[in-house]
C-alpha cells in the first residue's frame, strides 16, 4: 500500500472525519471571532476540506450532517440570544445525535465511536459557551469614551517635556506632564488623564 492509499484509507475512518470536522468548526469560528489571526482560519479550512473528503468516501447520512449543523447554529444562538442554557443543551444534543447518525447507514466497523461523538459534543459545547462566550461578552462591554479613551494611546511629544509640555495624541494637541524628561519628537504613551491634562511616559 503506497502513501496515497494509506492517506485515503485514513480518511475513510469515520472517527477521523468527525474529528476533522470538529477541528474545522473550532478553527473557522475562532478566526471569525478573532479576525486576522490567520492560522486558525487556514487550519480550519484545510480540516473542513479533508472532513468533506472523508464524508464523501464514507457516503454519510446527510440527516446526521444536518443535525451537526443545527447543533452549531443552536450553540451560536445561545451566545447571542441567551436562552438560559436551553439552546446550548439543545445544540450539544443535536451535535451528538448528528455524529451518531452520520455513519448509521454503514457497517458496524465503519460507524463513528459513540463515546468519541459524546466527548466531541461536550467539548464543542464547552468551546462555544466559554471560549467564544467570553469574546462576545467582551464585545458587548460599553466602550470607553471621551478623554478616558486616551489612556494607553501612543502619541508624539511636540515640545520637550521637562515636567510639562505639549504632545500630539489622537490627532489633537494636549498639555502633558511626565515624571521623566522627554524630548520633542519622541513617542509617549498616555498613563492617565487629569482634567484637561495628560500624564505620559516615554514609549520604548
Tell me what pLDDT residue 77 has. 80
Point out the domain boundary residue: 94, 123, 140: 140
Q: How confident is the model at residue 167 (pLDDT cuts 50, 70, 90)?
A: very high
pLDDT higher than threshold 90 for residue 28? no
Are residues 150 and 125 both part of a single domain? no
Are residues 20 and 71 both part of a single domain? yes
Are residues 91 and 159 both part of a single domain? no
CA–CA gap between residue 56 and residue 73 (Å, rounded): 23
* Residues 54, 22 contacting (CB under 8 angstroms): no
The residue-averaged pLDDT of 142-150 equals: 63
Higher pLDDT, 138 or 70: 70
The residue-averaged pLDDT of 32-45 equals: 83
Per-residue cell: 1: 500500500
Are residues 153 and 136 both part of a single domain? no
Q: How confident is the model at residue 163 (pLDDT cuts 50, 70, 90)?
A: confident
Tell me what pLDDT residue 187 has. 92
Domain residues for the domain of 186 are 146-202
Q: How confident is the model at residue 154 (pLDDT cuts 50, 70, 90)?
A: very high
* Residues 193, 169 contacting (CB under 8 angstroms): no
Point out the domain boundary residue: 107, 123, 140: 140
pLDDT higher than threshold 90 for residue 27? no
Are residues 187 and 103 both part of a single domain? no
How large is the C-alpha radius of gyration of the chain?
26
The residue-averaged pLDDT of 119-148 equals: 67
Higher pLDDT, 34 or 193: 193
Are residues 176 and 152 both part of a single domain? yes
Tell me what pLDDT residue 1 has. 66
Are residues 84 and 59 both part of a single domain? yes
Tell me what pLDDT residue 55 has. 84
Are residues 133 and 159 both part of a single domain? no
Q: How confident is the model at residue 17 (pLDDT cuts 50, 70, 90)?
A: confident
Are residues 99 and 172 both part of a single domain? no
Tell me what pLDDT residue 146 has. 61
Looking at the DSSP bridge assignments, the partners of residue 199 are 177, 192
Are residues 16 and 106 both part of a single domain? yes
pLDDT higher than threshold 70 for residue 82? no
The residue-averaged pLDDT of 8-35 equals: 83
Q: Give the CATH number for residue 179.
A: 2.40.50.140
Are residues 179 and 124 both part of a single domain? no
Q: Which of 96, 98, 90, 94 is nearest to 65 (CA)?
A: 98
Point out the domain boundary residue: 93, 112, 140: 140
Q: How many domains does the chain have?
A: 2
User: What pTM did the predictor assign?
Assistant: 0.56
Are residues 15 and 108 both part of a single domain? yes
- Torsion sign over Cα 106, 107, 110, 112: positive
Amino acid at each position: 500500500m503506497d502513501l496515497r492509499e494509506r492517506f485515503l484509507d485514513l480518511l475513510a475512518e469515520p472517527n477521523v472525519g468527525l474529528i476533522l470536522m470538529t477541528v474545522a468548526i473550532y478553527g473557522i469560528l475562532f478566526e471569525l471571532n478573532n479576525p486576522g489571526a490567520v492560522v486558525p482560519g487556514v487550519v480550519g479550512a484545510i480540516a473542513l476540506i479533508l472532513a468533506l473528503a472523508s464524508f464523501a468516501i464514507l457516503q454519510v447520512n446527510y440527516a446526521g450532517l444536518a443535525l451537526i449543523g443545527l447543533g452549531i447554529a443552536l450553540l451560536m444562538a445561545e451566545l447571542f440570544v441567551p436562552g438560559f442554557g436551553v439552546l446550548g443543551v439543545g445544540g450539544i444534543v443535536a451535535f451528538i445525535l448528528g455524529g451518531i447518525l452520520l455513519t448509521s447507514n454503514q457497517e458496524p466497523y465503519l460507524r463513528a465511536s459513540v463515546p468519541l461523538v459524546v466527548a466531541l459534543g461536550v467539548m464543542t459545547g464547552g468551546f462555544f459557551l466559554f471560549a467564544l462566550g467570553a469574546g462576545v461578552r467582551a464585545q458587548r462591554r460599553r466602550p470607553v469614551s471621551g478623554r478616558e479613551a486616551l489612556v494607553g494611546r501612543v502619541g508624539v511629544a511636540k515640545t520637550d517635556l521637562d515636567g510639562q509640555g505639549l504632545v500630539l495624541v489622537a490627532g489633537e494637541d494636549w498639555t502633558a506632564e511626565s515624571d521623566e524628561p522627554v524630548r520633542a519628537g519622541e513617542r509617549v504613551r498616555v498613563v492617565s488623564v487629569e482634567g484637561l491634562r495628560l500624564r505620559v511616559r516615554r514609549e520604548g
